[in-house]
Amino acid sequence: MLKARLPAETPELPSVTPVWPGAELQEDEIWDLYGIKFDGHPFLRRILMWDGFNGHPMRKDWKEAFFEEEGKPFSSRWPEGHHAWAEDRVPWHGNVNYPDHFDPETWKEPVTFEAVQDEPGGNGNGRLHTQRIVVNMGPHHPSTHGVFRMVATLEGETIISLKPVMGYLHRNHEKIGERNTFIMNIPYTDRLDYLSSMSNNLGYVLAVEKLMGIKPPERAEYIRVIMAELTRVCSHLWSIGFLLNDLGAYFTPALYTIRERELILDLFEEASGARMLCNYMRFGGVTRDLPTGWLEKCNTVVFDRLPRAIDELERYLTNNEIILARCKGVGYLSAEDLVRYSVSGPMLRASGLQYDIRKVEPYSIYDRFDFEVPKFDGCDVYDRYRVRMFEVRQAVKIVQQALKQIPEGEIQTGKKAYQVRVPAGEAYARIEAPKGELGFYIVSDGKPNPYRYRVRAPSFINLNALEPMCIGYKIADSVIVLGAIDIVLGETDR
């Protein structure tokens, strides 16, 4: 861990993008939320907020419009029996306050473009007189899996450049997380990558447990692994189904995968009470034990149902002519470049690099299970699909082993508490979430609220590689390249 300390007045730092181009989006984010300038950054812009937003919201002295108190739990809104109106607290009253030198009339967004421009050379391919056209995809476009925007410059149909624009779903998760108590953040992590809430829970509780210096009991460890791997199955199946949607096979293959996911969501519902936003893990354990009969149901799904379902999917999809034609060789980016762009997860493993945090830095009890890390080296959309398929099989294999080994016993270390004591210090924990490396960086000052709560969101950072993966391909390919990155906007925008 490297740290650079900067003064309060005009904080500036040289950008590390020449060393690791993958720092681009994260440095944008720091500029946006903290107001720290990066010299030498290729395109420093407000990435999550818009330019008309006054201030840098992650600074501790920035207060939101309805600010009540520094940390929860808030005191009563009925002091001495009288209701205090939240509106009376709005510091801005009019609620519209632009930064200096900002005029909404003349403002142009940072990703600006001329809709049509003459190509500098004047003729494309040496034969035709061409013009460059800018095509804007999104924010409301079914291919973007949410509110995400791609601004692509085209020559003919070929992509010359492509800029991702995001932040439409931004709610400043990290600021709200600093206001919450430690335990209040567990359900809040569900809302990051809402398709894999169990993994998000796991990453967060591991980071806080690192600080607290506690470990969950055996049974809870096994339950966590089972839940995290079932989540991986869900997330990958969903991603495969929607990749097929992007390819034009509208919802028929997706429903085959969603059908299997439903069975797993049933299991989640029975154990945690919720299908998607599970809020299941706790510091030092899980919130409650598995209900009677759960393990038998899980056995049926994992031993009988899923392996056959995966076989069926593979039979229909893996050698499908249309998939081969559309996915093979598309979105190529070599392993070296992927590492430089800080890409993680299935995309990295589809480039021949067997980098899986469960293997290289085993957390929880992953060192006890026998599973393989896929090795495909096509670096293209097709291999990203195959890696996901492979990982679904391996995840099922891990759950099968865990179900055989799971012991009886306690599910919580110590007593359950509404308020936990987290000693001062800082910790970074990372897990191999379905989308890639999910990290939580927590700074505690010993108070009930985290001083800093940072989410290293794989969906956000993997987008660094979107432009280099799209350049030179057709505009129609950008849709499946994005689909194969597998982003969830709840996590991208936070």
Partner 1 sequence: MSNTEATITVEVPARWQDAVPGAVLSEDANSVVVAPESLVALCTYLRDHEGYDYLSNVTGVDYLNFKGRDASNRFEVVYHLYSTRGAVALLC
Strand-pairing partners, residue 484, are none
Query: From the CA atom positions of the chain, what is the Rg in Å?
Result: 24
CB of 13 to partner 1, least distance (A): 5
Q: Which amino acid is at 121?
A: G
Backbone angles phi and psi of 454, in degrees to 5:
-115, 135
**On the CB side of 208, how many CA atoms lie within 13 Å of its CA?**
31
Of 12 and 262, CB closest to partner 1: 12
CB 330 within 8 A of CB 381: yes
- Residue 155 tokens read as 């020559």
Of 344 and 478, CB closest to partner 1: 344
Backbone angles phi and psi of 267, in degrees to 5:
-65, -45
CB of 338 to partner 1, least distance (A): 9
Alpha-carbon distance 236 to 230, whole Å?
10
Residues forming the site for partner 1 (CB under 8 A)? 1-9, 11-16, 18-20, 22-23, 26-27, 30, 33-34, 36, 58-61, 210-213, 339-340, 342, 344, 348, 353, 355, 360-361, 423-428, 430, 437, 439, 441, 443, 445, 451-452, 454, 456
Residue linked to tokens 């142009």: 108
CB of 339 to partner 1, least distance (A): 5
- Report which DSSP code applies to 47: S
Q: Is the peptide bond before 139 cis (omega within 30 degrees of 0)?
A: yes
Q: Is the peptide bond before 73 cis (omega within 30 degrees of 0)?
A: yes
Residues 6+ apart with CB under 8 A from 237: 257, 258, 260, 261, 392
Alpha-carbon distance 494 to 482, whole Å?
18
- Residue 442 tokens read as 């927590």
Of 5 and 101, CB closest to partner 1: 5
CB of 447 to partner 1, least distance (A): 11
Of 333 and 348, CB closest to partner 1: 348
CB of 35 to partner 1, least distance (A): 9
Of 364 and 478, CB closest to partner 1: 364
Of 477 and 493, CB closest to partner 1: 493
Of 361 and 372, CB closest to partner 1: 361
CB of 223 to partner 1, least distance (A): 23
CB of 27 to partner 1, least distance (A): 6
Nearest CA to 175 among 57, 286, 51?
57
CB 301 within 8 A of CB 451: no
Residue linked to tokens 């439409």: 168
Tell me the DSSP string of 226-248.
Answer: HHHHHHHHHHHHHHHHHHHHHTT
CB of 392 to partner 1, least distance (A): 23
Alpha-carbon distance 319 to 313, whole Å?
11
Of 325 and 360, CB closest to partner 1: 360
Of 248 and 446, CB closest to partner 1: 446
Of 205 and 263, CB closest to partner 1: 205
CB of 327 to partner 1, least distance (A): 25
CB of 225 to partner 1, least distance (A): 19
Of 144 and 444, CB closest to partner 1: 444
CB 169 within 8 A of CB 146: yes
Q: Which long-range contacts (CB under 8 A, 24 or more apart) does 288-291 make?
A: 288/411, 289/219, 289/411, 290/223
CB of 441 to partner 1, least distance (A): 6
- For residue 252, the surrounding DSSP H or E stretch is helix 252-272
